[in-house]
Amino acid sequence: MNKLIKNQLNNHKLGFSMYFITYITEIILSLIEPVIFGKILDMLLTNYKHIEDNIIKNIIFLCVLLLVSFVLYCSCRIIIYSIGRKVKQGIYTNLIEKFEKSNISFFESVDKGTFVSYIVNDINSLWSIIGHGTIEITRVIAYTIIGFIISMKYVNFSLSISVFIVFPIFIYFIIKQNSELEVITRESKELNAKLSKKINDGFCGFTVIKSYVREQETIEQFNDINKKIKDKNIQYNKTLAKINIISTICQGISFSITCIYGIYLVMENVITIGSFIAFNSIIQKIISDYIYAGNLVKKVNELKIIDNRIQFLYNIEIYSNGKNEMPKKPSIKISNLDYRYKNERENVLENINIEIPYGSFIGILGKTRIW
């Protein structure tokens, strides 16, 4: 991870600490809830004719857990989304400060459309990645580890091992598919940058004039880029579908083991019906997050690409004294300008000489009164 993102993350250490404490606490409570429910169910089955004080206390305790869990869940989302916005804004601010001190040669050499795409599209999506991505990866890891510990402690060791052994296998297949998704994501980003360049050029310079003269060619270029983006999206969705299929298979295997082996342990009086239902609920909570593994992989790949692009923007050359040496009141001067379209012999502009003083506002019209 590049220095710029690291610095912004370090600036919000306290916020991230509050988020992790809040969310981990919420996950622990949400995984204890099925255990309490199973305990209540066992009590009701044992004493179904009488409702004892102990049952009422456990029901009240379960309701309190649900309420506290909901409050913590909402709080952690508010915290992480706020941090994501601040990190994104901090990166914007730092980059702008760097651009103010940068050598003018950087702006002359860099592709403007790609530059705009990097700034607007990539950094803007950083907020979503930090927000949703952090929540998803925290939930997957914490639910798996804490759920495994609670299952072994409160339900049954052998049942927990037999079901949780499926998850490492699932993660292995996800990692194998990830390399392909990473390539597709990078290529899609490059195509979007190219499309952004076309759009940006459409509002600048001679390309505007050219679009009127060669409208069909411009449309074909746009259609070609859009088609390539569409093909990449289809390719990405196909790869993502493989992950979803693997997820569904793992979910089916886990559910089958839980039902077959769990019911066997109930019939052998090794575990109670309440414990079996509690274990099944815990597994369902964990598996429900693995279903969205493809989305998590996508966010990780996007973060890698954004990280590289921010590094590219931040490594620009600045003036040795670190000061902005751009002219304070610049004028625009054009001398002996000739211009012709690609693959054509005749110039559309010849010997253009003009100087536009600072602060003036002009319009340029052709013979057809366009522009």
pLDDT: is 67 or 44 the higher one?
A: 67
Residues 6+ apart with CB under 8 A from 263: 276
Q: What is the mean pLDDT of residues 117-125?
A: 67
Helix axes 205-213 and 215-267, enclosed angle (nearest 10): 100
**Residue 136: what pLDDT?**
77
How many C-beta neighbours within 10 Å does residue 296 have?
A: 21
How many C-beta neighbours within 10 Å does residue 93 have?
A: 11
Hey, what are 367's tokens?
A: 């013979």
Residues 6+ apart with CB under 8 A from 204: 112
Hey, what are 150's tokens?
A: 């609670």
Residue 327 pLDDT greater than 70, yes or no: no
How many C-beta neighbours within 10 Å does residue 18 have?
A: 16
Residue 101 pLDDT greater than 60, yes or no: yes
End-to-end CA distance of the chain: 46
**Residue 237: what pLDDT?**
76
What are the tens digits of pLDDT across the range 194-213?
666 666 555 444 444 444 44
**Residue 71: what pLDDT?**
92
**Residue 369: what pLDDT?**
58
Q: What is the mean pLDDT of residues 172-186?
A: 71
d(CA 79, CA 13): 12
**Residue 68: what pLDDT?**
92
**Residue 172: what pLDDT?**
74
Q: What is the mean pLDDT of residues 350-357?
A: 89
**Residue 212: what pLDDT?**
46
The three-point CA angle 221-183-236 to 5° equals 75
pLDDT: is 127 or 336 the higher one?
A: 336
CB 55 within 8 Å of CB 284: no
Hey, what are 354's tokens?
A: 């003009």
pLDDT: is 118 or 18 the higher one?
A: 18
Q: What is the mean pLDDT of residues 289-304?
A: 68
Which of 104-118, 262-276, 296-310, 341-355 shows the lowest mean pLDDT across its residues? 104-118
Identify the three-state secondary structure at position 49: coil
Q: What is the mean pLDDT of residues 299-319?
A: 68
Residue 347 pLDDT greater than 80, yes or no: yes
CB 188 within 8 Å of CB 233: yes
29-43, 134-148, 280-294, 312-326: range with highest mean pLDDT: 29-43
**Residue 208: what pLDDT?**
46
Length of the chain: 371
CB 243 within 8 Å of CB 292: no
Hey, what are 48's tokens?
A: 């179904």
Q: Which residue has the tokens 């990405």?
A: 236
Cα→Cα distances 242→253, 293, 371, Å:
17, 11, 52
pLDDT: is 302 or 157 the higher one?
A: 157
89-93, 265-269, 297-301, 302-306: range with highest mean pLDDT: 265-269
Q: Strand 349-356 to strand 332-339: parallel, antiparallel, or no bridges (unpaired)?
A: antiparallel
Q: Please, what are the domains in the chain? A: 3-325 (1.20.1560.10)
Residue 58 pLDDT greater than 80, yes or no: yes
CB 278 within 8 Å of CB 136: no
Residue 189 pLDDT greater than 60, yes or no: yes
Which residue type is seen at 301?
Answer: N
Residue 86 pLDDT greater than 80, yes or no: yes
- Bridge partners for 339 per DSSP: 349
Cα→Cα distances 238→226, 247, 294, Å:
18, 14, 11
pTM of the complete model = 0.66
**Residue 67: what pLDDT?**
92
Residue 92 confidence class, pLDDT cut points 50, 70, 90: confident
pLDDT: is 124 or 157 the higher one?
A: 157
How many C-beta neighbours within 10 Å does residue 192 have?
A: 17
Q: What is the mean pLDDT of residues 164-184?
A: 74
d(CA 210, CA 199): 13
What are the tens digits of pLDDT across the range 244-283?
777 778 778 888 888 888 888 888 888 888 888 888 888 8
Q: Give φ, ψ of 235 to 5 degrees.
A: -60, -40
CB 117 within 8 Å of CB 192: yes
Q: Which long-range contacts (CB under 8 A, 24 or more apart) does 265-272 make?
A: 265/156, 265/159, 270/156, 271/155, 271/156, 271/159, 272/38, 272/42
**Residue 206: what pLDDT?**
43
Residue 89 pLDDT greater than 50, yes or no: yes
Average pLDDT over the chain reads 76
